[in-house]
Amino acid sequence: MFLLLFFLIKMAKEREEKKGHHYSAEDISVLEGLEPVRRRPGMYIGTTGPEGLHHLVWEIFDNSRDEAMGGFCDTIEVVVLPDNRVRIADNGRGVPVDIHKKTKVSALETVMTTLHAGGKFGGEGYKVSGGLHGVGASVVNALSNYCKAEVHRDGGKYVQEYSRGKKKSSVKKVAPSKLHGTIVTFEPDVEIFGDIKFDWNTIVTHIRQQAYLVKGLKVLIIDARDYKGKIDDTDIFYFKELGLELPSVSFYFEGGLISLIKYYNKFQKPIQGKIFYTEKELDSVGVEIALQYVDDIVDRIVPFANNIYTQEGGTHVTGFKTALTRTLNTYCKKNEMMKESEGGFTGDDVLEGLTVVISVKLREIQFEGQTKAKLGSMEAQGAVGTVFGEAFTSFLEENPDDAKAIINKAILALKARKAAKAAKDSILRKGALEGMTLPGKLADCQSKSAEESELFLVEGDSAGGSAKQGRDRRTQAILPLRGKILNVERARIDKMLASKEVKSLIIAMGTSIGDTFDIGKMRYHKIIIATDADVDGAHIRTLLLTLFYRYFKQIIEAGYVYIAQPPLYKIKKGKEVNYAYSDEEKLKIIGKGADISEIENLDDQTASVVEEENEEEIKKKISKVHIQRYKGLGEMNPEELWETTMDPTHRIIKKVDIADAEEANKIFDILMGTEVPPRKSFIQSNAKLAEIDI
């Protein structure tokens, strides 16, 4: 054994020497300045996709917002400029421009070109801020093809320009100035982000949220992308002085979190008349919370730490949930509002129908991860629990009608939870007795590997028959759905499980539901919704998406839900067959120079683009082009369905993603909820965008 080991080591050594590979200090790379950011941008902004692109705007905006949080700034202007540039200005103190003792260059240059440099690591520059990692401005600079910082302070205007994190010149005083504040203009680098397109709605939505969180802050957002004139950004709030009629929106909220709760619940029916609100500092942690219960079965928890939206929650959310459950259980027991046999509330019971905004402010803050999606500061948990627990107890005592409505809401949720558990247990018991029998209508695939398995949800038995015959039996399963499934937007689990179609889908997926949901038991890593290209098909697709969003959001977040894109037309020219997935593609296939006499089933749109000919010439020609308009998948034979919609090498499928959870919540509330006026308003506002196929 020893000789064999010696021989193997010797061979490995000779092989490495033969290759000339010697691992030494020379193999260690040292990246200087901001080069690490350009090499690994995902470490600093999460992604180089649209979310990361907009993250650059948030980083610069956060610096101005931190000035406002400290009381040094009351106005911020965000301008989206032509040529993929964004300009953010504030009337704060202005970044210091004097020489930094350690770096021996201007403090402005230090902040813009050095990682982990800023006024937020100690001292009295900022008591509270969101940018404690100190990478905001420097990361934006590193990932920008062009960047310019302008500072108005101490009677002068100072400017420095950069490209990809490197300065073009030293900080210079270019003119006297009576203003004060900072302006940063940047142009993201196409080498990093590829196709650059700033989304107006994304910017407005994010900044609106921030405006609610800083009382007395005015934010002006301007869309100047279509202004092709000379852009002179030499002065703060310059566009306001130009008098141009540019698309713009401004925000200013005195109500703070109470105003934000009203905004979130504007399409909901409150069951609690008075919005709860408290603000207090405990152990150097500022706690601000507003909440209201509405007539709904889902909850909306919106947490912030130093005004940064922590979408993954954290210690402040944990402290709130614990205090909420404890407080309502204590109040209910004290006032004998529930039978002992019913037990106490769980966290899920007291969250149903709740809309709450939690905002904490800490001097020394810790996030889990560079993108600051989750708060890790443990002191926030205790401070939130104590401050909220005391204030909410007083609120319940002082507002008995609201307290009764909240408790009754929680009791209803408790009873529904027990009924749902009984329904789920019944399904599981039935499955166990039948050997976990899958739904009879499911044509399962042969593969046992979830990674390669696909489940097609098709509309009706006709499409189901074609899909079953045309599929790849090894990896593709088919589940036909008869009619429109239950609208689960307002249905609890017990009622939902009474729906045969919904129950079949849950059993087919294998994940269970509710507190027993386990995404690890998912039987398919592609759930493909394949409905007809008509109004009913769109409705069924919306109902299915509502089901996934409300009860299986993790499946969407994992990237397992897709929407099939079957063709609209089959175009046959002699023996040549083409499929068109849009009207534009149909016209391209036919060709604008096509012979009108060669086309069967000619529609008005096609006729408008082909050449006209006189009647006699038309009669002489033989029809050679045949256009078939598909109304549903059931009209396709198995071969056509496979070739166009199911074959992984040719099909087109769209992955369902949740880009903005809050916007998704609002849309589902409007479209699938019980309130008619918001839905009517939505339809009237968007009617012109509808594509009507008559």
Active site members = 459, 532, 534, 536
**Other residues' Cβ atoms within 10 Å of the Cβ of residue 614:** 7
- The two tokens of residue 302 are 């919106």
475, 452 contact by CB (below 8 A) = yes
343, 410 contact by CB (below 8 A) = no
94, 153 contact by CB (below 8 A) = yes
644, 579 contact by CB (below 8 A) = yes
Is 123 exposed, middle or buried, given 0-12, 13-18 or 19+ CB atoms closer than 10 A?
exposed
- The two tokens of residue 282 are 């405990």
Kindly report the backbone phi and psi dihedral angles of residue 167, in degrees, each rounded to the nearest multiple of 5, phi listed first.
-70, 145
DSSP β-ladder status, 569-573 and 625-629:
antiparallel
137, 111 contact by CB (below 8 A) = yes
DSSP letters for 228-265: -S-----STTHHHHHT----EEEE--SSTHHHHHHHHT
596, 544 contact by CB (below 8 A) = no
Question: Measured in Å, how far apart are the chain's first and last C-alpha atoms?
Answer: 81
What is the residue whose two structure tokens read 């849009």?
582
- The two tokens of residue 106 are 């201007």
255, 355 contact by CB (below 8 A) = no
DSSP β-ladder status, 354-362 and 300-305:
parallel
Closest-CA residue to 566 (of 548, 541, 588): 541
Is 583 exposed, middle or buried, given 0-12, 13-18 or 19+ CB atoms closer than 10 A?
middle
Residue 311 CB partners (closer than 8 Å, separation 6+): 373, 661
In the β-sheet with 625-629, what is the strand arrangement from edge to edge? 576-580, 569-573, 625-629, 599-600
What is the residue whose two structure tokens read 């100072």?
158
